[in-house]
Chains A and B, each alone.
Chain A
């Protein structure tokens, strides 16, 4: 196909998409109105399942299979990053030199680290009750560890962050979600069905399988972000390419 023909095909595709999208938008309910057909149904279902946070009820109960897909996307992309950013045979590790950190920054970082970690764990643990959940809390918890790199230095982070364990936890979190889904198949009607007792509304143990699936996602996301950042940090600070120097110099 010539360049001109390709442009025509592109233009036709864009125009058709724009027309269909515009037609769909005319049927949308107005902004900020009081008519929410999907929201009302989701809230009803969440109350029936005794899950105070409707979003978590949608994510881990009503549409738990979607979340399995999303969790797997993160898992697979981190796996891809680990493969791409590994140290190749012609690269060597160079220990980064210690850096002097201003005392104020050090104090601030070491003060904020436990606070941030606690917030992350709180957000994970209360996923079924208040805004947030395994994903949000997991990212916060993983980020909190990296305050060590900012407040102290890279070797300190490396010592207190056993990467192998996090890689293991990443896989375990993903596996736990898949296996909890299978429990729905064995004890209930369908894969990822909510088969556990629903408990008392607005308590930590309410929602049946919601807190468990939420915890599995929390473990997976925390470890995935730690592993991801660990490989980025190693590439940025430690790994140097010998051969590449020779080739491009």
Chain B
């Protein structure tokens, strides 16, 4: 049962990471990255590391994608004025 959960979480991480790499639009990439953060948080929790899971959930699925989205917005705003 535990092993099945670990394998499922690993597959989820691999799928999310692959989609993140092949997604070329940075704004969409940020959203996929957020899902990847969620998948990693699940994986860490299944592997009995809830402390790391919590940190991953807070940083990986909320703060990092937000920073990327804000950076993308800044760059696009610059581009529009040219």
Q: Which residues of A are in contact with B by a Cβ distance under 8 Å?
A: 32, 53, 55, 123, 131-133, 135-136, 139-140, 142-143, 146, 225, 228-229, 232-233, 235-237, 240-241, 244-245, 248-249
Per a CB cutoff under 8 Å, which of A136, A232, A236 touches B55? A136
Main secondary structure of the interface of A (DSSP, over half): helix
Chain B interface: which size bin?
20 to 34
Q: From known contacts A133-B51, A136-B55, A236-B77, infer whether A229 and B62 are also in contact, taking CB-CB under 8 Å.
A: no
Closest 7 CB pairs of A and B: A139-B58, A131-B50, A136-B54, A236-B70, A232-B70, A55-B51, A236-B73
A126 to chain B, nearest CB (A): 12
B14: CB under 8 A from chain A? no
B15: CB under 8 A from chain A? no
Q: Which residues of B are in contact with A by a Cβ distance under 8 Å?
A: 2, 50-51, 53-55, 58-59, 62-63, 66-67, 70-71, 73-74, 77-78, 81-82
Q: Can you list 18 A-B pairs with a CB-CB distance of less than 8 A?
A: A32-B2, A132-B50, A132-B54, A135-B55, A136-B51, A136-B58, A139-B55, A139-B62, A139-B63, A229-B70, A232-B67, A232-B71, A235-B70, A236-B71, A236-B74, A241-B78, A245-B81, A248-B82
Is B54 in contact with A131, judged by CB distance below 8 angstroms? Answer: yes
Write out the residue numbers on chain B whose beta carbons fall within 8 Å of the beta carbon of A135: 55
Is A123 in contact with B63, judged by CB distance below 8 angstroms? Answer: no
